[in-house]
Amino acid sequence: MVIIVAGATGEVGKEIIKQLVAWNNAQTWTIIALVRTEGSKKVPTGGVQEIRFDFDRPEAYEQLIAHYRPNIFFCALGTTLKKAKSAGAFKRVDRDYPAQFIHALCKCSPGTRVGLVSSVGADRGGGLYLTTKKEVEEIFFKSHLAGTVVRPSLLLSHREEFRLGEKLGAEIIAPAYLLFVRTFFPNWNALWKFAPIETRQVAATLVSSVIGLGSGEPQKENPKVQILEGLALFK
Ligand SMILES: NC(=O)c1ccc[n+]([C@@H]2O[C@H](COP(=O)([O-])OP(=O)(O)OC[C@H]3O[C@@H](n4cnc5c(N)ncnc54)[C@H](OP(=O)(O)O)[C@@H]3O)[C@@H](O)[C@H]2O)c1
C-alpha cells in the first residue's frame, strides 16, 4: 500500500504520520511525506520517505500521482492569513494546492481514497477562511473520489510557533468548554462541533476512517465521502 501525506510537517500532518507508522507495524506500506525542505526534521521517523515537492509547479501534481498511484492520500495543508500575507497567497495554500492534488488523483489514480483536513463551519462558509475550506470541500465532493473529510474546531497541539488564539484556546477555553459540554450536553453534537480537540485525536479518527473506511455521515452529493465532525471526531 502506498500512502502520501501533504502537509506532513504540520501539527495534524505529523500526527497523521505517527498514526500511519503505528498502523504499519509489519512495515509493508510505503509512507511518503511531501515536504518543502528535505531534512527539516519535522517529519516523524519510522520508515517514512520524505519527498521534496514543489507545490508551485503545476505539472508536479500529475507527475507525482501518476508515478506512485497511491492507495491513500492525506491532505493536511494549511496556512494563516498572517503567514501568507495576502488573501490570494492564503487561498493558494488552503485551496489551490489541495485542488491540484484532487484533480491529479481524479485523472491519474481515481481509486485513491482521500483524507482531507477541513474545518468546522466549512459546510456554511463565510469569511476568507471558511469560504476557502468550503470551496475545497466542494471540489472534493464533485471529484467523486472516495474518502473522509474531518471538520475539527480549534486544534490543541504542542506547536512551537506562537498563535494567540490557539494558546488562549488551549489554556482557558478548552478546559472550560469541554467540562461544560461533557457535564451538561454529552450528546449534543451542535456543541461538540465547536469543542477544541487534540491534533492527535483528529489524526487518529481520520486515519482509521480512511484506512478502515469507518462510518460517518455520507456526503449528499458524493456518498463515497464520509464527513466527521463534532462527537464523531472524539470517538
Ligand atoms: N489550527 C486550528 O485551530 C485549525 C482548526 C480547524 C482546522 N484547521 C485546519 O487543519 C489543517 C491543518 O492545520 P495545522 O494546524 O496542522 O497546520 P500547520 O501546523 O500550520 O501545518 C500546515 C502544513 O501546510 C504546509 N504549508 C504551509 N504553507 C505552505 C506553502 N506555502 N507551501 C507548501 N506547504 C505549505 C506546512 O509546511 P511547512 O512545515 O513547510 O510550513 C505544513 O506541513 C489546516 O487546513 C487548517 O486550516 C486548523
215: containing domain? 2-154+198-234
Q: What crossing angle do the helices spanning 11-23 and 199-212 adopt, rounded to 10°?
A: 50
Backbone angles phi, psi at 181, to 5 degrees: -70, -35
The domain that holds 214 is classified in CATH as 3.40.50.720
Q: Is the CB of 10 under 6 A from ligand 1?
A: yes
Task: Name the residue with the closest Cα to ligand 1, atom 12.
Answer: 76
Provide the pLDDT for residue 29.
Answer: 92
Q: Is residue 176 part of a domain?
A: no
State the alpha helices, DSSP H only, in 51-172. Answer: 58-68, 81-84, 87-91, 97-108, 127-143, 164-168
Instruction: Tell me the three cell numbers of residue 123.
Output: 459546510
Q: Is residue 138 part of a domain?
A: yes
Rounded distance from Cα 185 to ligand 1 centre (Å):
31
Task: Name the residue with the closest Cα to ligand 1, atom 6.
Answer: 119
Q: Is residue 86 part of a domain?
A: yes
Q: Choose the residue to mutate in 117, 130, 134, 166 for probing ligand 1, maximizing ligand atoms within 8 Å of C-beta.
A: 117
Q: Is residue 186 part of a domain?
A: no
Q: List C-alpha distances in Å: 99 to 91, 105, 141.
A: 11, 10, 11
End-to-end, the C-alpha distance of the chain in Å comes to 26
Q: Is residue 19 part of a domain?
A: yes
Q: How many domains does the chain have?
A: 1
Q: Is residue 191 part of a domain?
A: no
Rounded distance from Cα 156 to ligand 1 centre (Å):
13
Residues whose CB falls within 8 Å of the CB of residue 6, separated by 6 or more in sequence, listed in order: 13, 34, 53, 73, 74, 75, 76, 77, 97, 98, 101
- Give pLDDT tens digits along the chain (235 positions): 999 999 999 999 999 999 999 988 878 899 999 999 887 777 888 889 999 999 999 999 999 999 999 999 999 999 999 999 999 999 999 999 999 999 999 999 999 999 999 999 999 999 999 999 999 999 999 998 999 999 999 999 877 777 777 777 778 888 899 999 999 999 999 999 999 999 999 999 999 999 985 555 566 677 789 999 999 998 7
